[in-house]
């Protein structure tokens, strides 16, 4: 057929589908967008033509024409970062049944890359924007201000959100974890941080620092690195921490991977956990439950963050009431490493 010959030479259009089905383009458009508005027989005929030609609707063009869109742009800082997939799943649970589609990209924790991705996405006449970060370039702030789109920043609470902000209070979470260790009798508590967003590290450092000072304890046992948050980084930093502060009796790590790496190095050095050194992590990843001893950590409800953000965005798009900022509560998982 003519449509088949065009498959390799150009994009199949709505007119091609209409010609093959023997109907007008308006009828095809109505059948695709509001199938309940056409008869079953006609809809099946149009769907057969769509399938045979391999027609893909150009939603961006139709959105520009109608000044509406069902596309939500999601710029994730790192797909490899624990919990991000769960937040995306939470967004999908709410937005997809409501008729929206997610367009996903990764900024690789680079503000300039996030800016370029946003420039591209804004050409699609979006319904909303989701950012997995809370620090942006000046140009990104300007673009979002000019676009006046519903925008959600996910993961952690921030002081001055752009629009909607759903996440945990990192400072409070680490404060509670430090207080828990102090309640167990530990007094020389260290902090280990690896590569992550600087503003997140600062929040966690602030919680650890404040908890120690509130209990008249020294906040000096701290090491940070730009290296990846991994087992090998945790093992290397543990060596440095023990060398600098041999009296350290407990250690808080900014991720479960760091904490498990530190525990592996403790086993190599015959340092008993928790008898000689208590260790705690952050994230409640799968490995925290099966390592030996099981790791005390902070559980972050990533999927709930995604669903809460989805509901807030949906309300915002529909001009209903929504929560501009909401703190989702993290939980302390008390296990045998402390």
Q: Which pLDDT value is given to residue 8? A: 41
Residue range 198-203: mean pLDDT, rounded: 82
Fold type of domain 170-299: Rossmann fold (3.40.50)
Checking if the pLDDT of 5 tops 60, the result is: no
* CATH architecture of the domain with residue range 2-57: Orthogonal Bundle (1.10)
For residues 145-151, average pLDDT: 90
Q: Which residues of 327-338 are buried (b: 16+ CB within 10 A; e: fewer)?
A: ebebebbebebb
Q: Which of 11-15, 92-96, 110-114, 266-270 has the lowest mean pLDDT?
A: 11-15
The Cα–Cα gap between 314 and 298 comes to 29
Closest CA to 262 of 286, 283, 242, 244: 242
29 band by pLDDT with thresholds 50, 70 and 90: confident
The yes/no answer on whether domain 69-168+303-328 falls in CATH 3.40.50.2300 is yes
What is the biggest distance separating any 2 CA atoms in the chain, rounded to whole angstroms? 83
Within this chain, domains 69-168+303-328 and 170-299 share the same CATH topology: yes
- 3-class SS of residue 251: strand
pLDDT at 64 over 70: no
Question: What pTM was estimated for this model as a whole?
Answer: 0.76
| pLDDT for the residue 60 | 53
Q: What does pLDDT average to over the chain?
A: 88
The residues spanned by each domain of the chain are 2-57, 69-168+303-328, 170-299
pLDDT band at 67 (very low <50, low <70, confident <90, very high): low
Measured in whole angstroms, the distance separating CA 119 from the mean position of its chain's CA atoms is 20
Whole-number Å distance between alpha carbons of 199 and 58: 39
Instruction: List pLDDT tens digits, range 266-276.
Output: 999 999 999 99
pLDDT at 4: 37
What residues contact 255, with CB distance under 8 A and at least 6 apart? Answer: 82, 194, 196, 229, 281, 282, 283
Q: What does the pLDDT average to over 158-174? A: 91
Between vectors from CA 289 to CA 284 and to CA 292, what angle results, nearest 5°? 125
DSSP helix/strand/coil, 53 = helix
Of residues 124 and 335, which shows the higher confidence score? 335
């Amino acid at each position: 057929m003519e449509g088949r010959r065009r498959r390799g030479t150009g994009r199949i259009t709505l007119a091609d589908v209409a010609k093959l089905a023997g109907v007008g383009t308006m009828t095809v458009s109505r059948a695709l967008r509001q199938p309940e508005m056409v008869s079953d027989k006609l809809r099946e005929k149009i769907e057969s033509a769509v399938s045979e030609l391999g027609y893909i609707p150009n939603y961006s063009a139709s959105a520009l024409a109608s000044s509406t869109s069902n596309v939500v742009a999601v710029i994730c800082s790192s797909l490899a970062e624990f919990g991000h997939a769960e937040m995306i799943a939470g967004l999908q649970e709410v937005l997809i049944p409501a008729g929206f589609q997610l367009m996903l990209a990764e900024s690789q924790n680079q503000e300039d890359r996030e800016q370029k991705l946003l420039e591209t996405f804004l050409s699609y006449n979006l319904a909303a924007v989701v950012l997995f970060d809370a620090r942006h370039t000046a140009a990104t702030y300007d673009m979002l201000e000019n676009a006046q789109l519903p925008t959600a920043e996910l993961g952690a609470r921030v002081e001055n959100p752009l629009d909607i902000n759903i996440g945990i209070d990192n400072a409070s979470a680490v404060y509670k974890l430090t207080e828990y260790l102090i309640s167990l009798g530990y007094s020389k508590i260290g902090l280990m941080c690896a590569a992550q967003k600087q503003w997140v590290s600062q929040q966690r450092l602030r919680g650890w620092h404040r908890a120690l000072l509130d209990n008249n304890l020294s906040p000096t046992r701290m090491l940070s690195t730009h290296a990846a948050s991994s087992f090998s980084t945790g093992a290397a930093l543990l060596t440095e921490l023990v060398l600098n502060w041999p009296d350290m009796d407990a250690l808080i790590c900014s991720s479960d991977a760091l904490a498990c790496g530190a525990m592996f190095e403790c086993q190599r050095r015959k340092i008993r956990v928790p008898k000689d050194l208590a260790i705690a992590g952050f994230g409640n990843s799968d490995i925290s439950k099966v390592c030996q001893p099981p790791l005390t950590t902070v559980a972050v409800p990533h999927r709930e963050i995604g669903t809460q953000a989805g509901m807030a965005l949906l309300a915002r798009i529909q001009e209903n009431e929504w929560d501009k900022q909401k703190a989702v509560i993290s939980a302390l998982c008390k296990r045998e490493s402390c």
